[in-house]
Amino acid sequence: MAKLTPMEIRNMEFPKKFRGYDEKFVKSFLEQVAIQMEELIRENMMLKEKVKDYERVEETLRSTLQAAEKAAGEIKKNAEREAEIIIKEAKAQAENIIKNAKMEQERLQREIIDLKTTKDKLLMEMRTILETHIKLLETYEKKGGY
């Protein structure tokens, strides 16, 4: 069955028969039906427009959400990359500090060895000088002093 329009309802002509319906009443009723149908059509069109508006808003929200998720993902990736770089730099600095500390330790150990060697030499020289002076004193005393 085809859809009726308000205009078709208004223009509807019924066949006339003897003892039929009151023509004015039928026309009045059809006019009321047509008016209500026009209102329903207008309301339906407004609702369809609202649905379209909501669909546009929904699409905008969906794409905004997708953009936000993408941006959050990029921020996370960048933060992870930056963290990796910071960790690598910190490890390199730590290795460099350890290397320098070991080199300094080795230098200090060599210096300590050198100082001990120098101390031993000085002690030996002092012992030699003292022994020489003792021998000189003994010789001097044996010869009778002044």
Q: Which pLDDT tens digit goes with each residue over 84-123?
A: 999 999 999 999 999 999 999 999 999 999 999 999 999 9
Dihedrals phi, psi of 129, to nearest 5 degrees: -60, -45
Q: Which pLDDT tens digit goes with each residue over 15-70?
A: 777 777 777 888 888 888 899 999 999 999 999 999 999 999 999 999 999 999 99
Return the structure tokens found at 9.
């309802």
CA angle 32, 2, 47 (to 5 degrees): 60
Could you tell me the pTM of the whole model?
Answer: 0.47
pLDDT band of 1, cuts 50, 70, 90 = low
Domain locations along the chain: 6-142
Q: What is the pLDDT of residue 18?
A: 74
Tell which wins on pLDDT, 1 or 65: 65
